[in-house]
Amino acid sequence: MIKGEKPTIAVAMGDPAGISPEIAAKLLASDAVREAAELVIFGDRRVLEAGAQVAGVPLDIDCMASADGVGGESGKPVLVDLKNLDPASVASGKATAAGGQFAIQNFRAALQYAASGKATVRTSEGLTMGGTVTASGKAPSAGDDVIVAVRPERIEVVPAATERAAATGWTVVPGRIQQGTYLGDQTEYRIDTDAVGELVARRQNAAGAGNGLGAGPGDPVLARWHEEANLILVD
């Protein structure tokens, strides 16, 4: 069972010639807002940095090229940098077509993200992962209990000595093999973990020597999978 702790709010930067950049920077710097919600803001990093300079606030955020990787464990607000406006091309207090297009692109991206069915969940052990809500129009609220399902073939099983650092969007969980069952072209592993309980994973059996996992019952391994494999089930 997975319990979400904070809602995720998508924010779109507005007209860069107005006060939107400063307001956005102040929002991201607010401790009260950061404690209450996970923020995902859409816009241009250069415009946001200019706004932070005017507002006199620091920017302590993660920056990503797309919303696909949103849902990490840093706890920081996320800027999806669309790189869609050079701040030198607009003048403060003067509305322009470029500024209006900038705002429209940001609102469109934020709305698409909000409607994508994506959600971020956190286990009681502190493991954070993103996923797709399976029920259309039934998004979970903060604090709701949900189930995260992953097909066994989407879980990779690798030796415990493998580098544990997870790339964006990946979950990496250490555990120990309880049982391995040969299924012809695949081997099914039951893995006991502290983070998510028992995992069932299937590993393709490649032809040739040296391609096996080389681990049996009791041996430590890492189970890892991408958030695209996570299906979030809501009651």
- Place 210 in a pLDDT band, splitting at 50, 70 and 90: very low
Task: Give the CATH class of 2-116.
Answer: alpha beta
What value does the mean pLDDT of the chain take?
84
Domain range summary for the chain, segments of one domain joined by +: 2-116, 121-234
In tens, the pLDDT along 148-196 reads 899 899 999 988 887 665 567 788 899 999 999 988 888 899 999 988 8
pLDDT digits (tens, 9 = 90+) for 122-144: 777 777 888 888 876 666 766 77
Comparing 41 with 207, which gets the higher pLDDT?
41
Query: Would you tell me which CATH number, out of the four given (3.40.50.970, 2.40.50.100, 2.160.10.10, 3.30.1130.10), belongs to the domain 121-234?
Result: 2.40.50.100
Provide DSSP, the chain. Answer: -EE--S-EEEEE---TTTTHHHHHHHHHH-HHHHHH-EEEEEE-HHHHHHHHHHHT-----EEESSGGG---SS---EEEE-----GGGS-TT---HHHHHHHHHHHHHHHHHHTTTEEEEE-TTS-EEEEEESSTT-PPPTT-EEEEE--GGG-EEEETTS--PPPTTEEEEEEEEEEEEE-SSEEEEEEEETTTEEEEEEEE--SSTT-S----TT-EEEEEEEGGG-EEEE-
Quote the pLDDT of residue 136: 67
pLDDT digits (tens, 9 = 90+) for 37-62: 888 999 999 999 999 999 999 999 99
